[in-house]
Amino acid sequence: MKVPLLDLRPPLEELRNEIVEAVTQVIDSTRYIMGPEIDGLEKEISAYCGTNDAVGVSSGTDALLLALMVLDVGPGDFVLTSNFSFFATAGVVARLHATPVFVDIDPQTLNIDPESLSRVLAEMDSQTRKRVKAIIPVHLYGQCADMEAILKISSEYNIPVIEDGAQAIGAECEIDGQIRSAGSSGDFGCFSFFPSKNLGGVGDGGIVTVNNSEMADQLRLKRVHGGERKYYHRVIGGNFRLDPIQAAVIRVKLPHLNKWHRQRQDNAEHYNKLFAEKDLGGKVRTPFVGHSDNLQNPHIYNQYVIKAERRDELQSFLAENDIASEVYYPLPFHLQECFLHLGGKTGDFPVSEAAAEEVLALPVYPGMTKEMRETVVEQIAKYYQS
């Protein structure tokens, strides 16, 4: 049996007619830039995430970039972020000629570790600390970072928080006893509609959630080259607009999102059960969920990531047996070639370095069969028992 990492067909088949009709309507409208689909999606996403507003943008990367531009991040500034994420999280900081400051992760959730964050800030000299313009926690794999602790630290130092929720739209956490959705408790929430995310379009797209109306105005201004009046520019922005075809597709999919989250959660529970039955003696550790299970979405499993002994060999063995898997991510930021000039060395971030050697994402997409998951776990057990 062949098991792919992801198959986008089941949700497409489920909604094919509605999706094709929505795309056709945009094409027939001849309204190809901004327009009602963007306005509609912004209202629906802000309602879904529990924020006052949302601003559609061209990608998850541009969501982060635009949020940093609204905070006027530039040369000489610093931005603190997790050392273990998709490249975009740190890349956007460097693109603005600011310096990313990496923070190690929690060994269980693999999200930014609040204690390390606190320590990094405490150890900075006051000149540097004054120029820390943002903290970017990442809600890795579909589970929120410890926002309660992060917000305490950020408010102590008065530093804005940009949540990288690209993998976690709809994931929840509790803050002071209140249930909060990813992207609703920081100053900005950045999301991606890249096709492999839980809410994926038919191309690139993204959105920024925001509560503050002045910040929302700034996002909208810088989304269109900073021009309030056409051809007059007070500030510099970019072309960060969301394509209305993507917005139309996402609007068809959004009402189904919680059901797809549920299917991923069921798949994850099934994997957990299968691994427990195989009893691989600690060679495979299933994902840790840190948030209380009275939440509807304590984890939305954009990725189901195990920690595995002899991970690379296991991955090759699975590939030989037609089972796809992926390593998110094989190299932490401080060891990326483009960031070596910042002085990072092996050993500086032991938790992210260990994670980079152990993590392996298994197929968890909605529509995969029970037999597929059984095959995956059987092959993993076979690898360790041989």
Ligand X SMILES: *Cc1c(COP(=O)(O)O)cnc(C)c1O
Per CB under 6 A, 88 contacts ligand X: yes
User: Which region among 25-33, 80-88, 98-106, 231-239 touches ligand X (by CB under 6 A)?
Assistant: 80-88
Interface pick for ligand X out of 46, 89, 109, 154 (rule CB under 6 A): 89
Interface pick for ligand X out of 50, 160, 183, 206 (rule CB under 6 A): 206
Nearer to ligand X, 82 or 263 (CB): 82
Neighbours of 32 (CB within 10 A): 11
Tell how far CA 358 is from the center of its chain: 20
Q: Where are the beta strands (DSSP E) in 22-121?
A: 53-57, 78-82, 99-103
Per CB under 6 A, 207 contacts ligand X: no
CA dihedral of residues 375, 378, 384, 386 (deg, nearest 10): -100
Q: Which of 197, 194, 155 is nearest to 176 (CA)?
A: 155
Q: What is the spatial distance between Cα 182 and Cα 111, in angstroms, rounded to a whole number?
A: 13
Distances 17 to 21, 58, 161, 203 between C-alpha atoms, Å: 6, 25, 40, 18
Interface pick for ligand X out of 164, 172, 187, 243 (rule CB under 6 A): 164
Site for ligand X in 51-70 (CB under 6 A): 59-61
Per CB under 6 A, 260 contacts ligand X: no
Binding mask 115-144 for ligand X (x = CB under 6 A): -----------------------x------
Residue nearest ligand X (C-beta atom): 60
Nearer to ligand X, 206 or 298 (CB): 206
Binding mask 282-321 for ligand X (x = CB under 6 A): ----------------------------------------
Q: What is the spatial distance between Cα 64 and Cα 85, in angstroms, rounded to a whole number?
A: 13
Nearer to ligand X, 207 or 377 (CB): 207
Per CB under 6 A, 194 contacts ligand X: yes
Nearer to ligand X, 164 or 358 (CB): 164
Structure tokens at 326: 């992926």
Q: What is the spatial distance between Cα 73 and Cα 136, in angstroms, rounded to a whole number?
A: 13
Q: Residue 287 CB, nearest distance to ligand X (Å)?
A: 16
Burial class for 49, CB neighbours closer than 10 Å (0-12, 13-18, 19+)? buried
Q: Residue 197 CB, nearest distance to ligand X (Å)?
A: 6
Query: Phi first, then psi: what are they for 181, rounded to 5°?
Result: -90, 150
Per CB under 6 A, 163 contacts ligand X: no
Chain residues that interact with ligand X, rule: CB under 6 A: 59-61, 85-86, 88-89, 138, 164, 166-167, 192, 194, 204, 206
